Every structure is written in C-alpha cells, then in structure tokens.
Structure 1
Amino acid sequence: MTNALPPRFPITAAEIDLVVAEFYAALRHHPGLGPVFSVHVTDWPAHEAKIARFWRNAILMERSYDGNPFAVHQAAGNVRAQMFDVWLGLFDSVLKRHLRPETAQSWSELAHRIGRGLRMGVEETGVPGLR
C-alpha cells in the first residue's frame, strides 16, 4: 500500500506483527492483565491482527485500521487507570527484546503518548471503580 505520509520511524510491518504477537503472548500469562483481556478477547489471532493494523496505521500510515480504542477501553468496565503503567512496562520490555534500540525508543514514546490518552479516557468516565 502506498502512503501519502512517510512512516513515523523506520520499522517493517513484519516487525510490528512480531512485537504485537510477542506482547500478547506475554500479556496472556500476566497475572494482572491476562484476566482483564481474557474477558473481552475470545479470538486472539483476530485481536492481534486488528491491533497490528492499529500500529501499522499509527506508525506506517497505512490507514488499514478501523476502530475506536478510546471507546473500547472506556466501555470495557474492568479497565483501571493504573493498568496502563503495567501494560506499558510489559510493552516496553517486548520492544527492547525484539527491536533496534532507536526503533524501540521511538515506538515506546508513541505508545506512552497513546497510553496517556487512553488512561485519561478511563479516568474521565466517572464510573466508580474505574479510576
């Protein structure tokens, strides 16, 4: 797919797919995050493909993702604001294991910006227990 905008940083679609797969493999075994995701995700390959499209859209500007992560996280009902720090720590560890340092750092910075927005969305729901 030809894009009008250049990628945010050098990375391949295959690298994005690898990071997403490795992250969700680790997440499924995480004692705090695994159970939260397992309530919502019944088809892991489909979920991973969708999230890989999200990242290819955000990084490679592919425009292949159709979704609203803010609404999904707000509506989940079991997502707590403090979970984003754990999620980002796990994500950063996967990035560092599988990517060149400069690529891992660039993706981490983007993930942290997005994570701050998602966290604020969860905090602003005003639903008791979500903060």
Structure 2
Amino acid sequence: MSRRLLDSPEDVKLLVDSFYEKVQTDSLIGPIFTDVAQVDWSKHLPKMYAFWESIILGNNAYDGHPFRPHLIVNQQHTLTIDHFERWLQLFSQTVTENFTGEIAEQVRQRATQIALVWSSKLEYLNNDSYMEG
C-alpha cells in the first residue's frame, strides 16, 4: 500500500483508527484505555478525529479540553513518562507506516510536543501531591 500525504479528513481517520488499533492491543497502555478509563470507542474516536483534524487540517473541528481526561485517569492510575513514551512510539510508528511527506513529519513533531508537555505536567502534579502527603 502506498503511503499517503496526511492532508485530508480521510487520512486523519486512517491515522486515528490505525493508531488506536495498536493502542488497544498494547500491553502497557491498552489496559489504561480499556480498564482504567473504560473508553467508549464509539465516542472517543470521533473526538480524536476532530482533535487531530484541528491540528493537521486547521479546521477547528475540535472544541474541548484534551488534557482534562488525562488528569482524571491519572487520579485513578498514575500516568508516567513510560506511558507517554509508549503512546508516542505507537503514534510515530503509525504515521511512518501510513504516511509520507512534510505534514506527516510535522504531525510527528506535534505529537512529541504534546507527549512531553502533558507528561511533565502530570509528573509535576504527581510529585507535588507526594510532597504534601
């Protein structure tokens, strides 16, 4: 199969669907989605299409607070840098397998930024709460 340019809603859907197929079968982060967060995929996937369309296509499809659900999950099951690294590894792998070109590279960089920022936010919160405890 030839790799695509990642420049259409169909491409974004392919990215998201392929990525979350990997996530669901992953031994490290899969259980966080299925057991801890108990993700309803019929609701989650359309949100993720909108989130990544906003980033990739700049169409403002997403209207929400993407970090908030991670905070809630983190209260039930501490999210560590390992979780974010695995998420990023699977995401990057999905991009490489399906897409080529400049947009794909930018999306990989953006995912890296998101993983770094969110993991450091959570690490800060987790360490901060230990100090108070």
**TM-score, structure 2 length as denominator?**
0.81
Q: Give the unaligned 5+ runs of structure 1.
A: 1-8
Q: Give the unaligned 5+ runs of structure 2.
A: none
Report how many residues are paired. 120
- RMSD, aligned α-carbons: 1.8
74-83 or 16-25: bigger deviation = 74-83
Equivalent residue number for residue 104 of structure 2: 104
Q: Does 1:76 pair with 2:83?
A: no
Equivalent residue number for residue 16 of structure 1: 12
For residues 1-131 of structure 1, the aligned pairs below 5 Å read 11-38=7-34, 39-77=36-74, 78=77, 79-125=79-125, 126-128=128-130
> Partner amino acid for 2:97?
R
**TM-score, structure 1 length as denominator?**
0.82
- The percentage of aligned residue pairs carrying the same residue is 27
51-60 or 23-32: bigger deviation = 51-60
Query: Which segments of structure 1 move beyond 6 Å, counting only runs of 4 or more?
Result: none
CA contact (8 A) 2:56 2:103 kept: no
Name the one with the larger helix percent: 2
CA contact (8 A) 1:57 1:63 kept: yes
Distance 1:60 1:99 in 2: 15
